């Protein structure tokens, strides 16, 4: 097979596996801080029990994120040497700042956050939690800046075929960066909310009615209910930004073959790229013109304006619809659950049973969204600067295929183990309930080194 498509598949597999875990740790760090601050304020040990249940999920997710992230740092060189050779002067400093300001911060204080509870004072432990949560968010900031720059490059000039920085402010805060960052941070918040709500619902279904279960369940459901409308608004703004800067991506997402007014909003179709038409189309007349231009005769860009330079239509069309569909389901479920928790102080069994698989809805929406935006960048690696085909390395296709196969097997096995541990942790917490021994919370640190040594 073609090394280009194999390398793309390999990078896609690695980054898809990787993004699952930062999506959890970015927001879960802040949720853990919330649990901790609630405990500090109320002295209610149920908050601390919720913290100790979820800090284990955080530790495991963090480890998965670190090891898959190390893989990413090698992939640039092993599979895409042309990338750094062309835009290394821009991408390099952004990656360097991510490592220097974010990776070390989170890695160094993670140990204290996880195992230092009895080693440092409560205040230092809270501070360590803040620094880890801040580190994960800062890491998202830098990598989103780089990714957005690849989508909508700015602040550089080309000298002898290489990008050179001109204005770092323009590079970091490039046109799509603020929208993408907000969209991703909210996605992380929603992923974690539904994960917490889903695993708490599993505890609920297994008969657990402990205080720590209720606290986690309410935190997950209410956070989701607040974040989802904000996310729908932010996603819409992000789409309008894409319309302005990457119209060919919007054309593919909407499967709109010809530029013009009165473009329908296609709800269902099988886009046929060879025939340049949609099969089995179900559409709302003028819908896309209204959504994108706020007028029935608004002009929507079509694929005919970008011959040979537009992304593949089918994955964008469906990726976008899976993301939006999941988002709408999230809205319905989180608002219904909020209604029952607020008004009836209970959770109907069918709703709880729906919330358990919804624990992974954030992953689905995040992956679908990233596929839409990243495949939507094709055939460019860096829009208008470097084509993906020109960046691939000289490695033999057979080597790429072999390593890809082993990566995939490894990732499937690790995902099974990861989800198994999550369910195991939830059921264990359900069995212990509020009877687990009260964690040894102390306001002051143990003597150094810790007593008993």
Among 13, 16, 40, 116, binds another protein (CB under 8 A): 116
Whichever of 18 and 238 has its CB closer to another protein, that residue is 18
Whichever of 52 and 335 has its CB closer to another protein, that residue is 52
In this chain, which stretch among 247-255, 316-324, 330-338, 438-446 interacts with another protein, using CB under 8 A? 438-446
Beta-carbon contacts of residue 24 (< 8 Å; ≥ 6 apart):
57, 58, 61, 65, 188, 191, 192, 195
Using CB under 8 A as the binding rule, whether residue 452 contacts another protein is answered as: yes
CA 123 to mean position of chain CA atoms: 30
Q: Shortest gap between Cβ of 111 and another protein (angstroms)? A: 3
Whichever of 54 and 317 has its CB closer to another protein, that residue is 54
Q: Label residues 253-267 b or e (16+ Cβ within 10 Å = b).
A: bbbbbebeebbbbbe
Using CB under 8 A as the binding rule, whether residue 270 contacts another protein is answered as: no
Question: Is-contact 412 18, C-beta < 8 A?
Answer: no
Whichever of 108 and 309 has its CB closer to another protein, that residue is 108
Backbone angles phi, psi at 261, to 5 degrees: -85, 175
Letters for 55-74 (x = contact with another protein by CB under 8 A, - = none) are xx--xx-xxx-xxxxxx-xx
Q: Shortest gap between Cβ of 83 and another protein (angstroms)? A: 9
Among 12, 13, 119, 397, binds another protein (CB under 8 A): 119
Among residues 127, 124, 98, which one has the least CA distance to residue 29? 127
In this chain, which stretch among 118-126, 226-234, 306-314, 339-347 interacts with another protein, using CB under 8 A? 118-126
In this chain, which stretch among 112-120, 179-187, 328-336, 352-360 interacts with another protein, using CB under 8 A? 112-120
Among 123, 209, 424, 431, binds another protein (CB under 8 A): 424
DSSP 155: S
Q: Label residues 150-186 b or e (16+ Cβ within 10 Å = b).
A: bbbbbbbeeeeeebeeeeeeebbbbbbbbbbbbbbbb
In this chain, which stretch among 77-85, 194-202, 277-285, 306-314 interacts with another protein, using CB under 8 A? 77-85
The count of chain residues that interact with another protein, using the rule CB under 8 A, is 76
Residue with the two structure tokens 């935190």: 219
Q: Which of residues 78-107 bind another protein (CB under 8 A)?
A: 78, 81-82, 84-85, 88-93, 95-97, 99-101, 103-105, 107
Using CB under 8 A as the binding rule, whether residue 328 contacts another protein is answered as: no
Q: Shortest gap between Cβ of 15 and another protein (angstroms)? A: 14
Beta-carbon contacts of residue 394 (< 8 Å; ≥ 6 apart):
none
Q: Shortest gap between Cβ of 357 and another protein (angstroms)? A: 22
Q: Which of residues 347-366 bind another protein (CB under 8 A)?
A: none
Using CB under 8 A as the binding rule, whether residue 172 contacts another protein is answered as: no
Q: Retrieve residue 324's tokens.
A: 């939006």
DSSP 450: P
Measure the CA–CA gap between 272 and 361, rounded to whole angstroms: 29
Q: Shortest gap between Cβ of 182 and another protein (angstroms)? A: 25
Q: Which of residues 383-412 bind another protein (CB under 8 A)?
A: 393-395, 399, 403, 406, 410
DSSP 58: H
Of the CA atoms within 13 Å of residue 153, those in its CB half-sphere come to 19
Measure the CA–CA gap between 419 and 407, rounded to whole angstroms: 18
Using CB under 8 A as the binding rule, whether residue 416 contacts another protein is answered as: no
> Is residue 165 within a helix (H) or strand (E), and if so which, with residue range?
strand 162-165
3-state secondary structure of 280: strand
Whichever of 55 and 201 has its CB closer to another protein, that residue is 55
Using CB under 8 A as the binding rule, whether residue 148 contacts another protein is answered as: no
Q: Alpha-carbon dihedral of residues 408, 412, 418, 424, nearest 10 degrees?
A: -170
Whichever of 317 and 411 has its CB closer to another protein, that residue is 411
């Amino acid at each position: 097979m073609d090394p280009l498509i194999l390398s793309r598949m390999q990078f896609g597999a690695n980054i898809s596996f990787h993004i699952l875990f930062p999506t959890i740790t970015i927001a879960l760090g802040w949720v853990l801080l919330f649990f901790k601050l609630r405990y500090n304020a109320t002295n209610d040990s149920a908050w601390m029990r919720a913290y100790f249940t979820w800090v284990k999920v955080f530790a495991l997710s963090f480890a998965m994120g670190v090891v898959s992230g190390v893989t990413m740092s090698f992939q640039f060189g092993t599979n895409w040497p042309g990338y750094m050779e062309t835009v290394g002067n821009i991408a390099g400093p952004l990656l360097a700042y991510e490592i220097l300001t974010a990776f070390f911060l989170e890695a160094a204080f993670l140990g204290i956050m996880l195992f230092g509870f009895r080693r440092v004072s409560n205040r230092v432990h809270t501070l360590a939690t803040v620094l880890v949560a801040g580190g994960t968010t800062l890491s998202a900031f830098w990598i989103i800046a780089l990714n957005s720059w690849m989508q909508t490059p700015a602040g550089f000039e080309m000298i002898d075929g290489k990008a050179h920085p001109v204005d770092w402010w323009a590079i970091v805060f490039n046109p799509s960066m603020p929208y993408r960052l907000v969209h991703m941070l909210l996605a992380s918040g929603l992923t974690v909310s539904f994960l917490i709500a889903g695993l708490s619902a599993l505890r609920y279904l297994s008969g657990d009615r402990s205080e720590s279960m209720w606290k986690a369940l309410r935190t997950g459901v209410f956070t989701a209910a607040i974040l989802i409308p904000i996310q729908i608004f932010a996603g819409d703004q992000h789409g309008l930004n894409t319309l302005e800067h990457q119209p060919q991506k919007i054309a593919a997402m909407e499967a709109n073959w010809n530029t013009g007014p009165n473009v329908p909003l296609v709800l269902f179709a099988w886009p046929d790229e060879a025939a340049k038409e949609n099969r089995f189309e179900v559409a709302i007349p003028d819908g896309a013109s209204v959504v994108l231009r706020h007028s029935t005769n608004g002009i929507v860009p079509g694929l005919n304006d970008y011959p040979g330079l537009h992304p593949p239509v089918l994955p964008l069309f469906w990726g976008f619809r899976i993301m939006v569909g999941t988002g709408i389901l999230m809205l319905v479920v989180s608002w219904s659950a909020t209604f029952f928790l607020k008004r009836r102080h209970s959770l109907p069994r069918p709703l709880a049973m729906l919330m358990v698989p919804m624990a992974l809805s954030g992953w689905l929406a995040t992956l679908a969204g990233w596929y839409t935006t990243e495949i939507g960048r094709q055939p460019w690696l860096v829009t208008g600067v470097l084509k993906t085909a020109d960046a691939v390395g000289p490695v033999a296709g057979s080597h790429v295929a072999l390593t890809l196969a082993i990566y995939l097997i490894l990732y499937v096995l690790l995902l099974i183990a990861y989800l198994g541990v999550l369910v195991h942790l939830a059921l264990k917490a359900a069995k212990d309930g509020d009877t687990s021994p009260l964690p040894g919370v102390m306001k002051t640190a143990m003597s150094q080194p810790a007593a008993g040594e």
